[in-house]
Copies of this chain bind each other. A is one copy, B any other.
């Protein structure tokens, strides 16, 4: 039996994708090879990678003047690679601090440039997105960096900042492909794959083509976006099997009706859980209502002494990975695209029952 897996990432994948991967493991489409065994320069894999890219472009309606790169290293590597690739002659960058992932990005960027924290949500413990009119933007910044969905704090942007022509760079790791995005409003969109896209070890970078070619001389070639773009992400051997799985996820998303359909479903799933949290005195979520994440929903029990019993009971009811991140404690339900509504219903039902017996 498949469990309901609320992990923040690596995370649940669509069952039809896993079934197909299993079926094709020894012999992909009569090639006599697993995708894992294919040369990245062979026609079979080039076809797989090219289809994955075009399906991704279709899903997000990526404009032609953006390049889609399939890289390695995860968002944490990009925290260094973003300044390395974008600074050029500039010496500073703006960052908005909305929580744990913003903090990591800010700390890492400081190795390469002056970091201006244009706005921070520290005053209310990172439970909201600071309004645009409070941002102190520097018109000479190389770029403005935001994290559009804080996986740990459960804070999500529902609007796109106006950066007055300075390129907007967004870490979308934990909500990319969960909702419509107007790509043209961003200079760079990036994310690790291990939430809504595929296996850990694959990193997507969507970059406007005029932003290529500004890398610092210390940028490793394997992570130089321009060099990778010029080589269709095959300057070095790409993470081929992860790209294949991501491609299957993209096909599955298109079969579901694309981003519009999945976004509707995500809104409904999140509402199920938030509506229940908001009427309860036993559970609570600290995030400002307009800034709540649809993907990662942290919540607390009124009595933290019950946390262990809650988790143990969840496990017995076939629900795993509900423990909150150690930084914030409590619980967290990550309900990515591939989490079926039945999983959220089961969670709410369990929470009700737990409240009834322990409240």
**Residues of chain A whose beta carbon lies under 8 Å from any beta carbon of chain B:** 1-3, 5, 7-13, 15, 18-19, 21-23, 25-27, 31-34, 36-40, 42, 72-77, 79-81, 108, 111-112, 192, 194, 198-202, 217-218, 220-223, 235-242, 245, 318, 320-321
Contacts and interface: CB of A to CB of B under 8 A. Distances in A.
A168 B1 CA distance: 50
A-B complex: 3 closest residue pairs judged by Cβ atoms: A201-B239, A3-B32, A80-B220
A39 B220 contact: no
B33 A2 contact: yes
Given A33-B3, A200-B241, A10 B38 contact: yes
A200 B239 contact: yes
Given A18-B34, A38-B7, A321-B39, A76 B222 contact: yes
Q: Which of A31, A111, A237 has the most CB of B within 10 A?
A: A237
Given A7-B39, A81-B220, A236-B77, A199 B241 contact: yes
Nearest to A235: B76
A209 to B, nearest CB: 23
Contacts of A13: 34, 36-37
Given A201-B202, A223-B77, A239-B201, A5 B33 contact: yes
B39 A8 contact: yes
Query: What copy number does this chain have within its complex?
Result: 2
Nearest to A81: B220
Contacts of A8: 39
Contact of A111 (B19, B218, B239): B218
B25 A112 contact: no
A72 B78 CA distance: 13
Contacts of A318: 32
Nearest to A42: B321
A91 B325 CA distance: 41
Q: Which of A12, A15, A32, A245 has the most CB of B within 10 A?
A: A32
Contacts of A72: 72-74, 77, 201, 239
B2 A32 contact: yes
Contacts of A200: 40, 237-241
A93 to B, nearest CB: 16
Contacts of A79: 220-222
Nearest to A6: B39
B218 A218 contact: yes
